[in-house]
Amino acid sequence: MAELTLAYEAKCHSIGVVGRSICNARNHHWVAENSGGEAVGAGEMFCASIAACAVNMVETIASTEQLALDSIEVNVAAYRDFDKPAGDISVYDQVRVDFRMWGVSDDDARFLVKTWKQR
């Protein structure tokens, strides 16, 4: 197997307040909470991370393919069925990723999303 190279790393640690942690990546630090607090929740960070990945990668793909992408917006929403019995682990029942793009044709937009999904 090929040797893997670290691409990204982030850490979080507890701070003595149940449901609140401090996260960091490189020299950036932020607070994460369970849902409903003042700080951004871990689930919201999960959604934002996917959205940021999609925006940045699609812009890069469009540039590489010389497609005239003017702007892109990605919305990520995670859903849970709170009526079903709780399991041993907490999972999302569905995650939706919706793309809106300006400056490219519908066919080019479909190509960009398909390429993003394959990477």
Q: For position 87, what pLDDT does the model report?
A: 77
On whether the CB atoms of residues 101 and 75 are closer than 8 A, the answer is no
Q: What's the rounded mean pLDDT across residues 51-75?
A: 97
Architecture of domain 41-118: 2-Layer Sandwich (3.30)
Best mean pLDDT range from 4-13, 39-48, 77-86, 109-118: 109-118
Beta bridge partners of 77: 96
On whether the CB atoms of residues 12 and 22 are closer than 8 A, the answer is yes
DSSP 11: E
User: Per mean pLDDT, which range of 30-34, 52-56, 106-110 is the poorest?
Assistant: 30-34
Domain-by-domain residue ranges, the chain? 9-40, 41-118
pLDDT in tens, 10-48: 999 999 998 899 999 999 999 999 877 788 988 999 999
Q: Distance between CA 74 and CA 5 in Å, rounded?
A: 28
Residue of 24, 26, 3 whose CA lies nearest to 12: 24
Q: For position 85, what pLDDT does the model report?
A: 82
